[in-house]
């Protein structure tokens, strides 16, 4: 592994942070303290962390309604993320976006989108602006296998390719669009195979192996930064929770779930780190304790944050008019 | 003063703002060297080159998504949707996306300057998918300004204001008006959004309208003068925000009103204007407010049928006569 020990352990910590952060949301939904639709990405942490660590801070990342993890991996403050998800005033979006619309512009992360598809075309606009700036930054969009079947997938990739935009489309294929399995919704094995139809490289990667994700994104991004045009990556993964919290996943067999659990990205990464003698069990345990402490702080921060004032219903709707030229 | 057409006035506003601000760029289907389906962008490609005037594939969702992403990054995109009827295939961007961006991220975005241009309206013998007036839909989206000029002078001033505004704006042009000429100053000027204008003063009745229907209202006002009825004609110019004060002042003076729109009557702007007047001016009214609109049916191709279903001067006169006595 070419990354430093420090970086690798940071990645491990981020994966554990995402997992524990979302696990605590799951518990809050179950206990009735968290309202609304909550879509968790537990099981997909290698995707978020692998992608985030292969990018520059000046790149942009747009993601799906299941991407708390992407923002956290990108460095967003978990206190403000949690406060947002609970609709509190100190949340990233002052509580007006919630779980499905979490956004951290301080991390160049316009964040989650409640509608499947538009983030792919919006990413083109971000990429166009970055191309004009000419600083080698790129725009990355993550979307699910479900959103790969929206017309916007086609419109976005075709235009990105025509205009040679510095954009990377990442399909996070967790095999289920709510209850419909990938094989019932798609007549080919890999979304990445569609890349050839747009004259761009397409690559399938094991989305549960954080180092495989990191390396694939790093390699692909290099060519995009060189101006060779956009690319499509498909990260194959699984979500361990239902589409939304409360979904009993009746569409999966117990055998399938048991098989999924064998490929948990966090133990996989821990094993790699231990086998290559990058760290010790004790260090990993210490990281996990540290995460629990930080999570506890985020929970307290959220509990203490007030709900937004009623005036917030009407604020942030329009922008200041531009002064005359 | 020099006279130019409505299309030329729009082009002049685009050209002048593109010269003043290199962030402004125009793109859409056939807007490049071809100059746009209605010739509005003719010559801009030669003047500003392929980075500022860009043709796109037939991908309306990608056009508006790209505009949103670029606006998010500080550019000032001016996408053209060839017919407003085509907005149905990219509606998400002007309903769920652009107008909600700032609100849903709690004000993290400081501006989202995108001006979507699209022509609407009938009388071009193009039947039900190329002739509609859909502005009413868009006025139901908080966060989206809707502008609909009726004269070359207003088209230039309102477009200049729109291009200097920091909000997402839908700028609706009218196909029949493109070739209508009128006096337009050569220098840049701004007509503030949200201000209606009294286009003709009168004392007996107020005709309230916008876009191409203004021409019909003005023509009817002339006819009424022959009957000894002094009609005041108000042009709304901006539909959202709606100028409640100007219409109230006029109706409180004349005590009667007819509201004319080209769109079908159901759920339209005229109904909203009536509501506004009921709130502001009920005690001043001497008669029920009448509305004139297209019949609640599909716009047929056959010219005599189209003419019969759209609002006509005869229908406006008939509405006036119902309450003028």
pLDDT > 60? residue A91:
yes
CATH architecture of structural domain A5-313: 3-Layer(aba) Sandwich (3.40)
The three-state secondary structure class of A13 is helix
- The answer to whether B106 contacts A110, with C-beta atoms less than 8 Å apart, is no
Token code pair at residue A309: 């004032």
Q: What's the Rg (C-alpha) of chain A? A: 19
Q: What is the pLDDT of residue A87?
A: 97
Q: Could you read off the pLDDT of A22-66 as tens digits, one per residue?
A: 999 999 999 999 988 899 999 999 999 999 999 999 999 999 888
| Rounded distance between C-alpha atoms, residue B276 and residue B85, angstroms | 28
Best mutation target among B28, B78, B96, B104 (most A Cβ atoms within 10 Å) is B104
| pLDDT class of A299 with cuts at 50, 70, 90 | very high
pLDDT over 90 (residue A113): no
What sign does the CA torsion over B31, B35, B37, B41 have? positive
pLDDT in the model for residue B19: 98
Residue A325 pLDDT exceeds 70: no
CB proximity list for B163: less than 8 A, separation 6 or greater: B13, B14, B17, B21, B24, B76, B78, B113, B115
Out of A94, A125, A320, closest to residue B166 by CB: A320
From the CA of B60, how many Å to the nearest CA of chain A? 8
Considering chain A, what percentage of its residues have pLDDT values greater than 70?
98
For residue A165, list chain B residues with Cβ-Cβ distance below 8 A: none
Contact A125 B72 (CB under 8 A): yes
Ramachandran area for residue A134 (φ above 0: left; ψ -120 to 50: alpha; else beta): left
Mean pLDDT of the region A243-249: 89
Extract the residue ranges of chain B whose pLDDT is less than 50: none
- Asked if the domains at B3-183 and B197-324 fall in one CATH topology, the answer is yes
Closest CA to B171 of B187, B160, B183: B160
Res. A3: pLDDT tops 90: yes
Within B102-153, strands assigned E span 114-120, 145-147
Q: How confident is the model at residue A319 (pLDDT cuts 50, 70, 90)?
A: confident
- Reported as a pLDDT band with limits 50, 70 and 90, residue A73 is very high
pTM of the model as a whole: 0.97
Decide yes or no: CATH 2.40.110.10 for domain B3-183: no
Q: Least CA distance to A119: which residue of chain B?
A: B65
Question: Cα(B30)–Cα(B56) distance, rounded to whole angstroms?
Answer: 7
Q: Do A322 and B165 touch (CB under 8 A)?
A: yes
Greatest C-alpha distance within chain B: 60
List of chain A residues whose C-beta atoms are within 8 Å of the C-beta of residue B165 = 319, 321-322
Cβ <8 Å between B57 and A125:
no
A94 contact residues in B (CB cutoff 8 A):
106-107
Helix (H) or strand (E) holding A144: strand A139-144
What is the pLDDT averaged over residues A106-114?
91
For residue B19, give the chain A residue with the closest CA. Answer: A325
Name the residue among B121, B111, B110, B198 with its Cα closest to residue B154: B198
pLDDT of A122 reads 98
**Number of CB atoms found within 10 A of residue A261's CB:** 12
Q: Are A105 and B77 within 8 A, CB to CB?
A: no
| Nearest-Cα residue of chain B relative to residue A95 | B106
**Cis before B241 (ω within 30):** yes
Give me the residue from A97, A156, A317 closest to B105, CB to CB: A97
**How many angstroms away from the CA of B142 is the closest CA of chain A?**
7
Query: For chain B, what are the domain ranges?
Result: 3-183, 197-324
The kind and range of the H/E element at B215 are: helix B213-226
Q: Is B181 exposed, middle or buried (0-12, 13-18, 19+ CB in 10 A)?
A: middle
| Whole-number average pLDDT of chain A | 95
- Active-site residues of B, by number, are 130
CB distance B92–A124 less than 8 Å? no
Distance CA B66, CA A107 (A): 20
Question: ipTM, 2 decimals?
Answer: 0.96
User: How distant is the alpha carbon of residue B82 from its chain centre?
Assistant: 15
Report in angstroms the alpha-carbon separations of A76 from A9, A31, B163, B232: 18, 26, 33, 58
Amino acid A112: pLDDT: 83
- What CATH topology corresponds to B197-324? Rossmann fold (3.40.50)
Distance CA B56, CA A226 (A): 24
Looking at A250-259, A265-274, B284-293, which range is the least confident one? Answer: A250-259
* The two structure tokens encoding residue B256: 């009667």
Alpha helices in B73-212 (DSSP H): 91-92, 101-104, 135-138, 152-163
Average pLDDT on A5-21 reads 98
Q: Which residue in A103, A121, A123 is closest to B61 by CB distance?
A: A121
A22 contacts A41 by C-beta, under 8 angstroms: yes
pLDDT at A324 over 60: no
Contact A145, A182 (CB under 8 A): yes
CA of A215 to nearest chain B CA: how many angstroms apart?
Answer: 27
| Distance, CA of A123 to CA of A137 (rounded, Å) | 13
Rounded-to-integer distance, Cα A190 and Cα A175, Å:
11
Are A92 and B105 a contacting pair at CB < 8 A?
Answer: yes
CB A149 within 8 A of CB A176: no
Q: How many CB pairs under 8 A join A and B?
A: 156
- Count of alpha carbons within 13 angstroms of residue B267, beta-carbon side: 9
Share of chain A above pLDDT 90, in %: 92
Nearest to A317 among B21, B75, B103 (CB): B103
- Mutate one of B49, B106, B194 to test the A interface: name it (highest A CB count within 10 A): B106
């Amino acid at each position: 592994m070419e990354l430093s020990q420090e970086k690798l352990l940071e990645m491990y910590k981020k994966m554990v942070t995402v997992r524990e952060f979302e696990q605590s949301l799951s518990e809050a939904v179950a206990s009735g303290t968290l309202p609304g639709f909550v879509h968790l990405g537990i099981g997909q942490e290698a995707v978020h962390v692998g992608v985030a660590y292969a990018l520059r801070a000046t790149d942009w990342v747009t993601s799906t309604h299941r991407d708390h993890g992407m923002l956290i991996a990108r460095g967003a403050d978990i206190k403000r993320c949690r406060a947002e998800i609970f609709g509190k005033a100190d949340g990233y979006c002052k509580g007006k976006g919630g779980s499905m619309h979490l956004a951290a512009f301080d991390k160049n992360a316009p964040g989650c989108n409640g509608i499947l598809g538009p983030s792919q075309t919006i990413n083109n606009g971000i990429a166009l602006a970055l191309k004009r700036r000419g600083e080698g930054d790129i725009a990355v969009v993550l979307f699910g296998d479900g959103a790969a079947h929206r017309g916007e997938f086609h419109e976005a990739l075709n235009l990105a390719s025509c205009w040679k935009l510095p954009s990377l489309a990442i399909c996070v294929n967790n095999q289920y669009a709510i209850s419909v399995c990938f094989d019932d919704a798609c007549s080919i094995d890999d979304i990445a195979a569609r890349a050839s139809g747009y004259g761009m490289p397409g690559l399938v990667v094991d989305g549960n192996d954080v180092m495989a994700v990191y390396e694939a994104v790093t390699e692909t991004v290099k060519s995009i930064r060189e101006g060779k045009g956009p690319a499509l990556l498909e990260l194959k993964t699984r979500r361990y929770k239902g589409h939304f919290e409360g979904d009993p996943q009746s569409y999966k067999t117990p055998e399938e779930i048991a098989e999924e659990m064998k490929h948990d990205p966090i133990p996989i990464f821990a094993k790699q780190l231990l086998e290559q003698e990058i760290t010790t069990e004790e260090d990993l345990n210490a990281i996990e304790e540290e995460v629990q402490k930080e999570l506890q702080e985020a929970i307290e921060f959220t509990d203490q944050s007030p709900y937004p004032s009623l005036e917030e219903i009407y604020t942030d709707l329009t922008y200041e008019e531009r002064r005359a030229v | 003063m020099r006279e130019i057409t409505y299309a030329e006035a729009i082009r002049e506003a685009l050209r002048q703002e593109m010269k003043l601000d290199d962030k402004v760029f125009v793109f859409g289907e056939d807007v490049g060297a071809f100059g746009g389906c209605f010739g509005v962008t003719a010559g801009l490609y030669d003047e500003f080159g392929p980075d500022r005037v860009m043709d796109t594939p037939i991908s309306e969702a990608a056009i508006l998504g790209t505009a949103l992403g670029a606006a998010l990054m500080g550019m000032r995109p001016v996408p053209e949707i060839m017919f407003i009827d085509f907005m149905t295939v990219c509606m998400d961007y002007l309903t769920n996306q652009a107008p909600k961006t700032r609100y849903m991220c709690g004000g993290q975005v400081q501006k989202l300057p995108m001006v979507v241009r699209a022509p609407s309206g009938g009388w071009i013998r193009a039947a039900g998918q190329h002739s509609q007036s859909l502005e009413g839909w868009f006025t139901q989206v908080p966060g989206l300004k809707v502008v609909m000029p009726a004269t070359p002078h207003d088209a230039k001033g309102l477009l200049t204001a729109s291009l200097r505004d920091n909000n997402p704006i839908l700028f609706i042009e009218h196909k029949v008006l493109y070739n209508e000429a009128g006096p337009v100053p050569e220098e840049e000027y701004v007509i503030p959004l949200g201000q209606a204008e009294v286009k003709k003063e009168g004392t007996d009745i107020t005709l309230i309208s916008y876009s191409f229907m203004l021409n019909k209202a003005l023509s009817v006002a002339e006819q009424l003068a022959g009957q000894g009825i002094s009609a005041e004609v108000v042009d709304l110019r901006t539909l959202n925000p709606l100028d409640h004060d100007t219409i109230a002042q006029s109706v409180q003076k004349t005590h009667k009103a007819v509201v004319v729109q080209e769109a079908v009557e159901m759920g339209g702007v005229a109904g909203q204007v009536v509501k506004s007047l009921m709130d502001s001016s009920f005690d001043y009214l001497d008669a029920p407010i009448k509305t004139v609109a297209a019949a609640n049916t599909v716009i047929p191709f056959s010219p005599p049928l189209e003419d019969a279903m759209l609002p006509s001067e005869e229908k406006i006169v008939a509405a006036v006569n119902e309450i003028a006595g």
